[in-house]
């Protein structure tokens, strides 16, 4: 939190940026290769005996002109990143650099706008309209799409003894989003099943500077971390994606025009919201959920089976919002996955004025214009807030534990708050939580238990199903 007059002892922000150019490259090499993100932050917090300190953040030269940030690693300082009365969120969605607008049709899309900008209000109003008008399609379209996914997984296990979740989930996720939001099934259009692969290439052009892709250091760092990938290489693929959205979203684009948003700009925003924000979330977070539920073992799975089937049975055998709301353990499991492994770990904001930021131990002065950066997995595993913070505790948020939801921060705001026109909280926050809940509900209505092999990918967990035990009751 921030405060103008703090009772905590004032301390100069420790740390530094090293020599110009060289310091930024050294920190980049440490972050990606020598240490990795977790050790990078942990070692500096220990060295400075502070959860607030100065450092450079990738990518640095030559992609970002200014890599200097003030790092926030605890649950008390982190929420300043959401307070748009004190910080600006203009062009900081991906951090200290902004990808070329050639990747988004020449427009600064909603994620890069600050709430003080008039277009932010128009575009977020537009998204609220879309989400509200299509909300009744969520549950039936999810059931339909993910039933087909599970059938394909069963077939894979029967034939090969295992079935990868990643690619199947990517396709199902994209199909579900387009069916739910726009009433269009991509495989029945000229886009076919190419959507997910095009999106992944397009995503790479935007986030490669802040990701380790697993290539050899001598090859990866001088290329994708030093110079941006040229947008013309993805132009043809992006046009295919744009054309699909332009043809599929007519009713929504009509509404955008009535709100004063040009049709083309609205379409580029719908593409970004669907493919970057929503599809990206499903691609990263669904395997994370499966990983943690599988890792917790058969006891948790049995408890989820009992709770989910009982709630659905008492609701006339139908999955509804009301039935899902009764599943307190299942809801807690989703919140705990969002806490322990948030899908968007990095968050940025720029100080609008001179500020005082507080950690648990100290207060720190920040000057206007300085870049603030929060590494969310540390804030949501703050040992001063959470008991056994590094452990996945399925029922952490049941009963009294609900009070801790204010410290679940995945959506660019606390879980206890909602998106508004005046903040930068994810417009589809509640729908993303619902999608995640439905995944677990569909799993345990269909299966008594499952087993997986867990690996790693550039964007999180890689999951392969090895067993799906059909429901016996």
471: phi then psi, degrees, rounded to nearest 5: -60, 135
Pairing of strands 346-351, 355-358: unpaired
Task: Give the C-alpha separation, 128 to 130, whole Å.
Answer: 5
- Read off the tokens for 138: 């969520």
Length of the chain counted residue by residue: 473
- Identify whether the C-beta of residue 81 lies closer than 8 Å to the C-beta of residue 52: no
Look at residues 103, 94, 98, 127 and name the one whose alpha carbon lies nearest to residue 198.
103
Q: Is 219 exposed, middle or buried (0-12, 13-18, 19+ CB in 10 A)?
A: exposed
- Read off the tokens for 183: 């009433």
- Read off the tokens for 37: 């993100």
Could you list the residues known to form a binding site for heme, using ranges: 426
- Report CA 316 to chain centroid distance, whole Å: 34
- Identify whether the C-beta of residue 37 lies closer than 8 Å to the C-beta of residue 55: no
Task: Give the C-alpha separation, 416 to 409, whole Å.
Answer: 9
Question: CA torsion angle for 118, 120, 125, 131 (degrees, to 10)?
Answer: 170
Could you list the residues known to form a binding site, using ranges: 426
Alpha helices in 315-395 (DSSP H): 321-325, 328-340, 376-379
């Amino acid at each position: 939190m921030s405060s103008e007059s703090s009772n905590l002892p004032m301390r100069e922000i420790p740390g530094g940026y090293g020599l110009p150019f060289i310091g930024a490259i050294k920190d980049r090499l440490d972050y990606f290769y020598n240490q990795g993100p977790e050790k990078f932050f942990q070692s500096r917090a220990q060295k400075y005996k502070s959860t607030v300190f100065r450092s450079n953040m990738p990518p640095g030269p030559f992609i970002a002109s200014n890599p200097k940030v003030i790092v926030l690693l605890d649950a008390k300082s982190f929420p300043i990143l959401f307070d748009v009365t004190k910080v600006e969120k203009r062009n900081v969605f991906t951090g200290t650099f902004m990808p070329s607008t050639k990747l988004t049709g020449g427009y600064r899309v909603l994620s890069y706008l600050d709430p003080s900008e008039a277009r932010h209000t128009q575009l977020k109003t537009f998204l609220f309209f879309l989400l509200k008008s299509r909300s009744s399609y969520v549950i039936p379209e999810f059931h339909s799409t993910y039933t087909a996914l599970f059938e394909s997984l069963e077939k894979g296990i029967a034939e090969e003894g295992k079935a990868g979740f990643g690619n199947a989930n990517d396709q199902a996720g994209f199909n579900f989003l387009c069916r739910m939001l726009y009433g269009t099934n991509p495989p029945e259009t000229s886009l076919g099943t190419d959507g997910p692969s095009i999106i992944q290439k397009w995503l790479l052009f935007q986030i490669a500077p802040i990701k380790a892709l697993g290539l050899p250091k001598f090859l990866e760092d001088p290329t994708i971390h030093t110079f941006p990938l040229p947008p013309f290489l993805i132009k043809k693929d992006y046009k295919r994606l744009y054309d699909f959205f332009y043809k599929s979203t007519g009713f929504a684009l009509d509404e955008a025009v009535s709100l004063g948003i040009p049709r083309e700009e609205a379409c580029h925003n719908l593409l970004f919201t669907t493919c970057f924000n929503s599809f990206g979330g499903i691609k990263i977070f669904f395997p994370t959920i499966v990983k943690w539920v599988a890792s917790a073992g058969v006891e948790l799975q049995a408890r989820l089976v009992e709770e989910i089937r009982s709630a659905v049975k008492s609701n006339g055998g139908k999955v509804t919002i009301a039935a899902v709301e009764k599943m307190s353990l299942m809801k807690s499991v989703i919140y705990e996955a969002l806490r322990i492994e948030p899908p968007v770990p990095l968050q940025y904001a720029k100080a609008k004025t001179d500020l005082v930021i507080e950690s648990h131990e100290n207060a720190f002065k920040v000057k206007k214009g300085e870049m603030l950066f929060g590494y969310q997995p540390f804030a949501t595993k703050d040992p001063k807030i959470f008991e056994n913070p590094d452990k996945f505790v399925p029922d952490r948020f049941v009963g009294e534990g609900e009070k801790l939801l204010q410290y679940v921060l995945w959506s660019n705001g606390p879980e206890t708050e909602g998106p508004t026109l005046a903040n930068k909280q994810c417009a589809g926050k509640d729908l993303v939580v619902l999608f995640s809940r439905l995944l677990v509900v569909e799993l345990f209505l269909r299966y008594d238990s499952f087993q997986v092999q867990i690996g790693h990918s550039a964007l999180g967990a890689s999951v392969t199903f090895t067993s799906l035990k059909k429901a016996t009751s």
